Amino acid sequence: MTISSLDGWIVAIYAVGIFALAQWVSRERGEHKKNAQDYFLASRALPWWAIGTSLIAANISAEQIIGMSGSGYVIGLGIASYEWMAALTLIIVGKYFLPVFLKNGIYTMPEFLERRYSPSVRTVMAVFWLGVYVFVNLTSILWLGATAVHTVAGVEVQTALIALAAFAGAYALYGGLKAVALTDIVQVSLLVMGGLIISYLALDAVSDHHGVLAGFRELTAHFPDHFQMILPATNPHYKDLPGLSVLLGGLWVMNVSYWGFNQYIIQRALAAKSIREAQKGIVLAAFLKLLMPVIIVLPGIAAVALAPNLPRADEAYPHLMALLPTGIRGLVFAALIAAIVASMGSKINSIATIFTMDVYRAAFPQTSQERLVLVGRIAAVVALVTAGFAAKPLLGSFEQAFQYIQEFTGFFTPGICVIFLLGLFWPRCTATGALVAAVASAVLSLVLKFAWPELPFMDRVGVVFLACMAIAIALSLMERPREAALKVDLKNIDYSTSAGFNIAALLVTVILIALYAIWW
């Protein structure tokens, strides 16, 4: 595929425009200098629309767009469970998790663990998250994003990687979370618009230009196996999406951990003006998650009809982009870059936040606010440079890097989910129980992977979660209660929600029931 000069100009206008907007929204007013709360939590003043769109921008990057389209090409609509079940997870996070975090004025997830358990739990988890964010998540966004740009536009991978890292750093470093979150409305709008365009044109092409509805009917008629949400055990891809476990098992653990306890996701909600504003943002994100399969998975299914013999499934989305007319192609390419840059900006901001607030400030508690901001910026630069050098050695040899990354993080997800859920809702849980559960998560996952290789990944996550929960509860009951040592309020929490939130939660639930009932 070639990018014309018009397409190039459209991408350039996007890049200049988003950079200028980021600098404008994060500019200083008068003599005010950014403090830690300004830089890392956007002065705790984010409006609902910024929270909702920024949650999606942080989540959706090149690996989701190209990888999930490829899964749609091979597996079908079943892969949409990752998106649709996330919508319901977000509602749970807004109802039961955010009230605790916001009531206690939490900056970071490791800070909550210190106030709930002990400083050692905070330190262990902060170092763990920094390692995962830099060497797993940020490297994957850089490498897979650069690979996507190479596939679509032919730019050499290393050149694309350096350009993406430099642009994301320039766009996010000065303003911090405020620059990222307040520009994400543009990034997500571009992402949604580009995705809808490619879905529209793909479905129209499937029907030989008789319209998108005709194209959709043709897909469901000729490829019914690609419209099964719950895969039977006889399906060749059952191990990836193991039947009812998608609704009742390990996917819940992964979603709750990702959307509820992941710093670079939850940080947007921690920066809200109020709990009601945060919950409105969560609702917006939930409805956007319901829409995501239309702009990510559906094009992959359409590619089955338009290009049935692709050598690799991940070529489905780039192949459809090659069909786009000049100008529209540039717009969709800009949307792809927007997804990469927005996700990367969110990641480096969270790395800076955890390093500064959980590692540096813990070692130097008297540090001034201005120095904390400087340390955060330096940490972000170091993280970007480190990930840039590490990306190819770590991921360059993997044909399916995203799957390896999912499996690696899945080793730790059950333990993280256990220590936070017990930390939020069972004051009796002790620091010993939490630390052992976190370690046991990795050990048990590794043992099961080799001792029971036929067990689907998603089921393994569910089994390890239950085992870690049992371990944490048992060890906690063996110790004397230390509730008086808690430095976090777990009792005086108002879990009530507005009528609008309740109606939205009901609507999300009804839509999900209808979707699964139609394509069971």
**Closest Cα to residue 81, out of 518, 505, 515?**
515
253 domain-assigned: yes
Q: How confident is the model at residue 317 (pLDDT cuts 50, 70, 90)?
A: confident
Evaluate if residue 1 carries a pLDDT over 70: no
333 domain-assigned: yes
Can you give the pLDDT at residue 491?
83
192 domain-assigned: yes
Give the C-alpha separation, 248 to 251, whole Å. 8
Q: How confident is the model at residue 498 (pLDDT cuts 50, 70, 90)?
A: very high
By the 10 Å C-beta count (0-12 exposed, 13-18 middle, 19+ buried), 393 is classed as exposed
495 domain-assigned: no
Evaluate if residue 402 carries a pLDDT over 70: no
Q: How confident is the model at residue 355 (pLDDT cuts 50, 70, 90)?
A: very high
> Residue 241 region, left (φ>0) first, then alpha (ψ -120 to 50), else beta?
beta
383 domain-assigned: yes
Give the pLDDT mean for 451-473: 94
412 domain-assigned: no
Q: How many CB atoms lie within 10 A of CB 23?
A: 15
Evaluate if residue 366 carries a pLDDT over 80: yes
Give the C-alpha separation, 200 to 294, whole Å. 10
Q: How many domains does the chain have?
A: 1
Mean pLDDT over the full length of the chain: 88
Evaluate if residue 343 carries a pLDDT over 80: yes
Give the C-alpha separation, 146 to 62, whole Å. 9
DSSP secondary structure letters along 209-257: SS-HHHHHHHHHHH-GGGG-SS--TTSTTTTTS-TTHHHHSHHHHHHHH
459 domain-assigned: no
Q: How confident is the model at residue 435 (pLDDT cuts 50, 70, 90)?
A: very high
Give the C-alpha separation, 284 to 445, whole Å. 34
Can you give the pLDDT at residue 253?
94
User: How many alpha carbons fall within 13 Å on the CB side of residue 277?
Assistant: 16
250, 260 Cβ separation under 8 angstroms: no
Evaluate if residue 64 carries a pLDDT over 90: no
Range of the domain at 381: 39-401
Give residue-wise pLDDT tens across range 162-172. 999 998 888 88
Can you give the pLDDT at residue 314?
78
- Write 41-45 long-range contacts (CB < 8 A, 24+): 41/107, 41/177, 41/267, 41/270, 41/271, 42/176, 42/177, 42/178, 42/181, 42/182, 42/271, 43/178, 43/271, 44/270, 44/271, 44/272, 44/273, 45/271, 45/273
Residue at token pair 């338009």:
306
Evaluate if residue 3 carries a pLDDT over 60: yes
Q: Residue 98: which CATH number?
A: 1.20.1730.10
Q: How far apart are the first and last CA of the chain?
A: 37
Task: Collect all residues with Cβ–Cβ distance below 8 Å to 512 and sequence separation of at least 6.
Answer: 84, 85, 87, 88, 290
Can you give the pLDDT at residue 177?
82
Cα dihedral value 110, 113, 115, 120, nearest 10: -90
Give the C-alpha separation, 218 to 214, whole Å. 6
Phi, psi of 57, deg, nearest 5: -65, -40
Can you give the pLDDT at residue 351?
93
Q: How many CB atoms lie within 10 A of CB 508?
A: 20
Give the C-alpha separation, 26 to 32, whole Å. 12
Give the pLDDT mean for 456-473: 94
330, 7 Cβ separation under 8 angstroms: yes
- This prediction has a pTM of 0.90
In one letter, which amino acid is 421?
L
DSSP label at 93? I
Can you give the pLDDT at residue 441?
95
